[in-house]
Structure 1
Amino acid sequence: MAVENFGKDIGADGLLAAASVLERPAEEFVNDSMIEELWAIKAFEHAEIYFNLLSSVDPKILRLTKHDDQLYKHFRETFPDLNVATVTEDQLKSAEAKDVWRSFCEIYKESVEDYNYATLIRLNAAQEYSEANSMIVPRVQFLAIELARSREGHNDMIRSNFKPKKLQTRS
């Protein structure tokens, strides 16, 4: 199923009901394909909105959380050599990387809203979201990498190369 078609069969009422279900603790769910699809819908909608922001404003002035400065500083202290222009699945999800990232993310459990939500990240900062250029990561990992991309100039060309898109309605 193409990401663009997620939610079309559910409708607005179904999506609103799903949103309330997704607020429940993750421990209450087993691997349910409907729940996984709802998480994917939410992650895709976030990606659409975020990319439209990058296409509309100077990324250097974009604030993602009230903890941006602390998050960026901690990220660069923990991952000083990570090239955020292009990231790989191995850099973010290998066994070694998961250990470091898990410790990094847990620090923000209480301070960053939805710190562990599934969020799509672009592997190559110069390109838009696509199946080949996206991966799901915890929200704090997305925030840390995107803050670095914006502050270090890797998101600067987005406004020149892409225009904001009309958001798809999910009714």
Structure 2
Amino acid sequence: MDVLNRPADEFENDQSVEAMWAMKAFEHAEIYFNILCSVDPKLLKLTPLDDTIYKIFREEFPKLDVKVIDENKLKCPASKAKWRPFCERFKKVVEDYSLGTLMRADATKDYSKENSILVTRIQFLAIELARNKEGINDGLRKANKHSVKEKSDINKEM
């Protein structure tokens, strides 16, 4: 365990670990989007703490427009300073709260290279809970009902 106390700059990036993480993040994004396109988002339960996460998020970020997230504004120093204490509140209660997770920048669109932002899991949960509870994700089922079926048909063939 002493190795975990060593400075991070002593370790090299393992490309195979990074590739596995990226695949897992992409799989999570694909599954989540398919669920959004299949179920009324207002009925989704992402964690046992959904109501608490949403309540605290809206207390801390009452005016944040979650429909379209500007990555530059989200990751600027002032925003990071505000998000850090929010995220840390969930350190011991949300599993993998700081895990890198892909989130759609524009809630009306599918994941793509241009529409994906890397955020912490708790940021993803807070923003997606707001999108679900506030009706922003509601149009995805109508707009993407065929793409979910097509993707599942392709997966069956593989």
| TM-score, with structure 1 as normaliser | 0.79
| Paired AA for residue 15 in structure 2 | S
* Structure 2 residue identity aligned to 1:155: N
Residue 100 of structure 1: how far off its partner (Å): 1.2
Does residue 155 of the first structure (1) align with residue 137 of the second (2)?
A: yes
- Closer, same or farther in 2 for the Cα pair 1:78/1:30, shift >3 Å? farther
Q: Is the 8 A contact 1:71 1:144 kept in 2?
A: yes
Moved more, 119-128 or 98-107: 98-107
Tell me, yes or no, if structure 1 residue 48 matches structure 2 residue 30: yes
- 2:123 aligns to what SS in structure 1? helix
Matched, 1:146 2:128: yes
Letter in 2 for 1:131: K
Query: C-alpha deviations, 1:109-156, integer Å up to 9, x for none?
Result: 111111111110000000000000001100000000000001111100
- The residue number in structure 1 matching 2:112 is 130
Q: 1:155, 1:72 → 2: CA distance?
A: 15
Structure 1 residue 74 and structure 2 residue 62: aligned?
no
- List alignment gaps of at least 5 residues for structure 1: 1-24
Q: Number of residue pairs matched?
A: 145
Amino acid at match of 2:33: F
Higher Cα radius of gyration: 2
What is the CA–CA distance in structure 2 between the aligned matches of 1:29 and 1:153, rounded to whole Å?
Answer: 44
1:142 aligned partner, one-letter code: F
- Report the more deviating stretch, 160-169 or 49-58: 160-169
Q: Report if the CA contact (8 A) 1:90-1:97 is conserved.
A: no
1:36-67 deviation per Cα after TM superposition (whole angstroms, max 9, x unaligned): 22211111000011001001000001000000
Q: Comparing 95-104 with 147-156, which one deviates more in the overlay?
A: 95-104
Distance 1:31 1:95, change over 3 A: farther
Is 1:120–1:135's contact at 8 Å kept on the other side of the alignment? yes
1:35 Cα deviation from its structure 2 partner: 1.9
- Compared with structure 1, are the counterparts of its residues 160 and 29 closer, same or farther at alpha carbon in structure 2 (3 Å cutoff)? farther
Residue in structure 2 matching 1:87, options 69, 79, 97:
69
Instruction: Specify every segment of 5 or more residues in structure 2 that has no aligned partner in the other structure, as ranges.
Output: none
Q: 2: distance between equivalents of 1:168 and 1:98? A: 39
Identity %: 54
CA distance in 2, matches of 1:68, 1:58: 16
1:9 paired residue number: none
SS at match of 1:102: helix
